[in-house]
């Protein structure tokens, strides 16, 4: 599975959009990009995933570049409850659902 | 989605003892995983729990230390054997639903070994 690179930490003002980048330059054609987050002392929570098209759900939007070498997770109106560690993971589309977790980005949403 | 419970939620154990952690899911799932998260670290996959057969372990993890059972499609256990302080971690189970891509995680078991 391809590796990902994320900034260690980011800050965002409450009510503003939080844009979290991820580089995955070695991603292969059948690998999806997944985003999870982990709020302190809780199990990780799935946010969104995509292959090559941009995706949006009730939690966030995922923008994937045309060459698929990077992506951005967008939280359109960040709240204090969005303070968490955000993980970008790439994973194949086969039966193997193993996820290899990096260190993620620690997002602090400030009042 | 899936609702996952883990027991116990936390425990403090003595060196040399063993602890069995239970993971219960409210629906039948295709895949179940066990992870470890050491203090201040990211998640590390321990093994894939296979229903009715031996678990598939990742590099660095062995069955004698982390025996896993999965007797049916909704339940699994992870035992941490002969514990040492280095085993102090949060242990998490996760599942993938049939036809799904995302993993759903349990709340975790916080283990402290003295």
- Going from the C-alpha of B35 to that of each of A60, B25, B32, B67, the distances in angstroms are 26, 16, 10, 13
Whether B38 has its CB under 8 Å from any CB of chain A: the answer is no
pLDDT tens digit string along B13-36?
999 999 999 999 998 888 899 999
Which pLDDT belongs to residue A110? 95
φ/ψ of A37, rounded to 5, equals -135, 155
Contacts of B101 in chain A (CB under 8 A): 32, 34, 49, 97
- How far apart are the C-alpha atoms of A72 and A54, rounded to whole Å? 10
pLDDT per residue over A51-105, tens digit each? Answer: 998 999 999 999 999 999 999 999 999 999 999 999 999 886 555 677 888 889 9
Q: Kindly list the residues of chain A whose beta carbon comes within 8 Å of any beta carbon in chain B.
A: 32, 34, 36, 41-46, 49, 87, 97-104
Q: Which of B31, B43, B104 sits opposite A46 (nearest CB)?
A: B104
For strands B4-7 and B109-113, give the pairing. Answer: unpaired
CA-CA distance, A80 to A12, in Å (whole number)?
A: 10
List the alpha helices (DSSP H) in B25-110. Answer: none
Q: Do residues B2 and B97 lie in contact, with contact meaning Cβ atoms separated by under 8 Å?
A: yes
The predicted pLDDT at position A92 comes to: 65
Give pLDDT, residue A101: 86
- Specify the pLDDT at position B12: 97
């Amino acid at each position: 599975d391809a590796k990902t690179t994320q900034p260690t930490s980011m800050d965002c003002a409450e009510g503003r959009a939080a844009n979290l980048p991820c580089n995955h330059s070695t991603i292969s054609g059948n690998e999806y990009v997944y985003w999870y987050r982990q709020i302190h002392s809780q199990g990780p929570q799935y946010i969104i995933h995509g292959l090559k098209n941009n995706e949006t759900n009730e939690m966030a939007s995922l923008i994937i570049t045309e060459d698929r070498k990077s992506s951005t997770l967008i939280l359109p109106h960040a709240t204090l409850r969005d303070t968490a560690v955000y993980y970008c993971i790439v994973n194949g589309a086969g039966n193997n659902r193993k996820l290899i977790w990096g260190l993620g980005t620690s997002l602090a949403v400030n009042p | 989605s899936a609702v996952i419970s883990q027991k116990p939620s936390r425990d403090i154990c003595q060196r040399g003892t063993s602890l069995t952690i239970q993971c219960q899911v409210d629906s039948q799932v295709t895949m179940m995983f066990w992870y470890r998260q050491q203090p201040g670290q990211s998640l590390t996959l321990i093994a894939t729990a296979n229903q009715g057969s031996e678990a598939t372990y990742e590099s660095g993890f062995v069955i004698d230390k982390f025996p896993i059972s999965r007797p049916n499609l909704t339940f699994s256990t992870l035992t941490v054997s002969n514990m040492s302080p280095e085993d102090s971690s949060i242990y998490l189970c996760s599942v993938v639903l049939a036809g799904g891509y995302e993993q759903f995680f349990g709340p975790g078991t916080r283990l402290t070994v003295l």
